[in-house]
Amino acid sequence: MLRKEEIAAILDQLGEFEESARSVKDQLLANLVMISEIPAPSFDEENRIAFIKNRFIENELQHISIDELGNIAGMLPGKNPDQNILLNAHVDTVFSKKVDHTISVGSNKVTGPGVADNSLGVAVLVTLPELFKEAGIEFESNIWFLGETRSLGRGNLEGLRFFLEHSEIEFDNVICIEGAQLGRLSYSSVGMVRGEITASVPEEYDWMRMTYTNAIITINEVINRIVDIPLPQRPKTSIVMGSIEGGTTFNTIATKANLKFEIRSEDQEQVNNILAQFEDFVAEISSRSGIRVDMELVSERKPGGVSFKHPLPRNAHEIIKHLGLKPTITPSTSELSAFIDWGIPAITLGMTNAEHLRLETETIEIEPIYKGVAQLLGVINVIDKGD
């Protein structure tokens, strides 16, 4: 465990780390733009992975490999071959190849699909080896770099789970790098289920069965039933209805409608209980209306994580505060949960301020990135020196 004076010494270096981040500004922004302009929807990240591979080769990383699911990994060797720190960024975005991925760079902002989630995270990942070299930073630990695929939506962390299942490396600590938001500190995961409820009017539907019905009305009944579900304040529990689609035009009865939802709670039992209620009323509505109502689950997470007393989140919290930032402690439903399932201490850090997340106008601020990278370097150094 690091002594107080050793941690203080690292805190004193944060200003130097911020200047080191500024020294690779051109490379970082160039990587950001090039990565952002390569579409990478989940299950179709090959071109972006190829770009990352070239960057890893240029920076002379060792043991560069791409596995069966497209995850790419590389390693910067440290002085102690038995210590391993993993830096991770998911490569995929929510935007399809049909979306215009042209990126706009202003004096202090970058705008375009996926620049925050998670092109900036990937850009930081591939720029770090160059930053280490420029700043003359060396580590005791091996630093592993992972760009993982199939993270979002129906990907359900499939890429990362495959990597962990097949990796022979024992990672001591993990830092997940996300583009946004600066000050974010996640070290626990909530229980979560995401799914879709679809109402479909069969072609042979007996229109004399009811006076008037369609798929949108059926989905509306589903929504009403969801709203009626009582939610406890403790453990914190929520239901998010994120998207609804249905019908085609003004004068045509809607024969199909779809609702995307998410159930999340600090307690897995609450998630299971609410999901059971969903299953009950979906079956009831389908049986009573004669309209087919189906529910499909697309991803899930289990609650867990390390305690705040663990050195990894505790020291990260101190580093964020020392940089003049306000730590925002929030549970995660992203890659962090996979590491938690494997019992690996992990945190998620955000790199900058962002707005319009998951819209085509997604925008990040450039100036705060340097503090974001400085916090990352601070945490790596604390881990590397043994805490």
**Spans of all domains in the chain:** 4-189+303-384, 191-301
**Reported pTM:** 0.92
What was the pLDDT predicted at 386?
79
Structurally, at CATH architecture level, domain 4-189+303-384 sits in 3-Layer(aba) Sandwich (3.40)
Do domains 4-189+303-384 and 191-301 share one topology? The answer is no
The Cα diameter of the chain in Å comes to: 80
The tens digit of pLDDT for each residue in 168-227 reads 999 999 999 999 999 999 999 999 999 999 999 887 655 555 544 789 999 999 999 999
User: What's the CATH fold of domain 191-301?
Assistant: Alpha-Beta Plaits (3.30.70)
Query: Over the stretch 121-131, which tens digit does the pLDDT of each residue have?
Result: 999 999 999 99
- Residue 258 preceded by cis peptide, ω within 30: no
Torsion sign (Cα): 383, 129, 160, 94: positive
What count of other Cβ atoms lies within 10 Å of the Cβ of residue 100?
11
Q: Are 261 and 192 in contact (CB under 8 A)?
A: no
pLDDT in tens, 228-255: 999 999 999 999 999 999 999 998 889 9
Starting at the edge strand found earlier in the chain, the sheet holding 237-246 runs 237-246, 256-265, 191-200, 292-301
